[in-house]
C-alpha cells in the first residue's frame, strides 16, 4: 500500500479553483457592488452609462483596436459564438478547428445545424493541437484560443496570415484577460464574464473587426435568424448593440460586478499584470508536476499548456492499469476528498475530457493559494490510492 501522507496544515485561503464560474478577484465583497442601479432599466441613462463603461473598460484592459466593435450579448460565451456562427458563416467554405469538447461543439453545430457544404474538420485528440498548417485561410476559420477542457492553447497568432481572405472566429473565453490575444489576426473574438475575470454568469462579449462588420453588412445567411441573434437591420450593423444597447435585458448587478473586476484589473497594471499572475500560477504547478512521477499535464507540448485551465492526468502505472471507469473513479475520489476538506472545489476534469483534475489558475487566483493546494494534491492522491488497497 502507498505510505500514509500527512494531511497538510496550511489550507488555501480561497478554495475556489473552478473553471467557470471562476474565483472572484482578491478582496471582493458584495459591498463592491453597492453602486449597482438595481430596479432601474438598462435603457435608462444610468444603465446605459454603466453598459458603455463596461465596453470601454474592456477595450482598455484587453487592448482592443479602436476600430473593432465590442458588444454585450446574451447567453454567455455560447451565445456570442452562436451569434457569430449563424450570422457570418455560409459565404465561404469553413475550416472548423477543434481539440477539446467546446471546439467539438462548434464543429457539430456547423455540420448538423447549419449544414454547410464543404466544411472541413481539422481536429486533434485531447492534449494536442491539430496541425495548424492544414488550415486554408481562404476559408472562414473557427477555433478556440484556449481549450478549456483540455488545457491546450495556441501559443500565439503567428500561424494566422495577415492577408487572409476568410474570417477568423475565435472563442477566447478562457484566454481573455490571461493571454495576449493577437487581435490583428482575429475577426471575431468571444468570451464570457464568468471565466474571464470571475464575473457572474449569463453575459457574453462579442468583438468584431472591420472585416467582420463588412461581412455582416454584405452577406445575408440563407436561414431565418432569431431576434436574439440579429446583428443587422436593413443591411446595416445595429450600432446600438456596440454602444451598450443590449438585445435583451442584462442584469445590472452582473454589470456592476464586471465593472468591479475591470477596475481591479486596471489598478494592478492591466493586461500585462493579469497575464503575469496567470503565468506565475502555472509555474507553481509546473514545478510541482516535474517533481512527481504520478501526475502529468494533459497538454503534451509545454509551449501549448494553458495558464488558466490547467488539466492534469494521473500516470501512476497502478492506476492507468485500471479500466477507464475505475480511472475516472480514482480522479473523482481525489476531487471529492479535496472538496470535503474545503481546500479545492470543483476541480474534477470536464465530463467529456479524459479522467483527471482541472485547476483554474487565471488572474483572479492568488499564487499563495496555488502553492498551498499542491501538498493537498499529494495527500488526496495517497488517500485515494490507499482506498484501493494499492
Q: What CATH number was assigned to the domain covering residues 30-266?
A: 3.40.640.10
Q: Rounded mean pLDDT of 317-326? A: 97
Query: Around Cβ 226, how many Cβ atoms within 10 Å?
Result: 10
Is CATH 3.20.20.210 the right assignment for the domain spanning 270-387? no
List pLDDT tens digits, range 32-76. Answer: 999 999 999 999 999 999 999 999 999 999 999 999 999 999 999
Indicate whether 204 pLDDT > 80: yes
Q: Rounded mean pLDDT of 121-134? A: 98
List pLDDT tens digits, range 223-233. Answer: 999 999 999 99
Note the pLDDT of residue 3. 58
List pLDDT tens digits, range 233-264. Answer: 999 999 999 999 999 999 999 999 999 999 99
C-alpha span between 247 and 245 (Å, rounded):
7
Indicate whether 342 pLDDT > 60: yes
Indicate whether 141 pLDDT > 80: yes
Note the pLDDT of residue 375. 98
List pLDDT tens digits, range 64-119. Answer: 999 999 999 999 999 999 999 999 999 999 999 999 999 999 999 999 999 998 89
Give me the helix-helix angle, 270-290 and 252-268, nearest 10°: 80
Indicate whether 124 pLDDT > 90: yes
Note the pLDDT of residue 4. 63
pLDDT tier at 196, thresholds 50, 70, 90? confident
Counting other chains too, the contacts that 78-83 makes at CB distance below 8 Å and 24 or more residues apart are 78/192, 78/204, 79/204, 79/228, 80/190, 80/191, 80/192, 80/204, 80/205, 80/206, 81/106, 81/169, 81/171, 81/190, 82/109, 82/229, 83/206, 83/228, 83/229, 83/231
Indicate whether 1 pLDDT > 60: no
Indicate whether 202 pLDDT > 60: yes
Note the pLDDT of residue 5. 83
- Mean pLDDT of the residues in the chain: 97
Domain with CATH 3.40.640.10 in the chain: 30-266
pLDDT tier at 2, thresholds 50, 70, 90? low
Domain with CATH 3.90.1150.10 in the chain: 270-387
Amino acid at each position: 500500500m502507498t505510505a500514509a501522507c500527512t494531511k497538510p496544515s496550511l489550507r488555501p485561503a480561497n478554495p475556489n479553483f473552478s473553471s467557470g464560474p471562476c474565483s472572484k478577484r482578491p478582496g471582493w465583497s458584495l459591498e463592491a457592488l453597492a453602486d449597482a442601479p438595481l430596479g432601474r432599466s438598462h435603457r435608462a441613462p444610468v444603465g446605459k452609462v454603466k453598459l458603455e463603461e463596461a465596453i470601454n473598460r474592456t477595450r482598455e484592459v484587453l487592448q482592443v483596436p479602436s476600430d473593432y466593435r465590442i458588444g454585450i450579448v446574451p447567453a454567455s460565451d455560447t451565445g456570442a459564438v452562436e451569434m457569430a456562427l449563424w450570422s457570418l458563416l455560409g459565404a465561404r467554405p469553413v475550416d472548423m478547428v477543434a481539440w477539446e469538447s467546446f471546439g467539438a461543439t462548434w464543429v457539430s453545430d456547423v455540420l448538423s445545424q447549419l449544414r454547410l457544404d464543404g466544411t472541413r474538420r481539422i481536429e486533434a485528440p485531447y492534449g494536442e493541437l491539430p496541425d495548424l498548417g492544414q488550415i486554408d485561410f481562404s476559408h472562414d476559420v473557427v477555433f478556440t484560443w484556449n481549450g478549456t477542457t483540455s488545457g491546450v492553447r495556441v501559443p500565439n497568432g503567428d500561424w494566422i496570415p495577415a492577408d487572409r481572405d476568410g474570417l477568423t472566429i475565435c472563442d477566447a473565453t478562457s484566454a481573455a484577460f490571461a493571454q495576449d490575444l493577437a487581435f490583428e489576426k482575429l475577426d471575431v473574438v468571444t468570451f464570457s464574464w464568468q471565466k474571464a475575470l470571475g464575473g457572474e454568469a449569463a453575459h457574453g462579449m462579442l468583438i468584431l473587426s472591420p472585416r467582420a462588420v463588412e461581412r455582416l453588412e454584405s452577406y445575408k445567411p440563407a436561414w431565418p435568424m432569431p431576434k436574439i441573434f440579429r446583428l443587422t437591420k436593413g443591411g446595416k450593423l445595429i450600432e446600438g448593440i456596440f454602444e451598450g444597447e443590449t438585445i435583451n435585458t442584462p442584469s445590472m448587478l452582473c454589470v456592476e460586478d464586471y465593472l468591479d473586476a475591470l477596475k481591479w484589473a486596471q489598478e494592478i497594471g492591466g493586461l500585462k499584470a493579469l497575464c503575469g499572475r496567470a503565468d506565475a500560477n502555472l509555474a507553481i504547478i509546473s514545478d510541482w508536476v516535474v517533481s512527481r512521477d504520478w501526475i502529468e499535464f494533459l497538454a503534451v507540448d509545454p509551449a501549448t499548456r494553458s495558464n488558466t485551465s490547467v488539466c492534469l492526468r494521473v500516470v501512476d502505472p497502478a492506476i492507468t492499469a485500471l479500466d477507464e471507469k475505475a480511472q475516472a473513479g480514482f480522479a473523482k475520489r481525489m476531487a471529492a476528498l479535496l472538496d470535503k476538506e474545503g481546500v479545492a472545489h470543483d476541480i474534477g476534469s470536464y465530463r467529456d475530457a479524459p479522467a483527471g483534475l482541472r485547476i483554474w489558475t487565471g488572474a483572479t487566483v492568488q499564487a499563495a493559494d496555488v502553492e498551498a493546494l499542491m501538498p493537498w494534491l499529494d495527500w488526496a492522491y495517497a488517500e485515494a490510492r490507499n482506498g484501493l488497497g494499492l
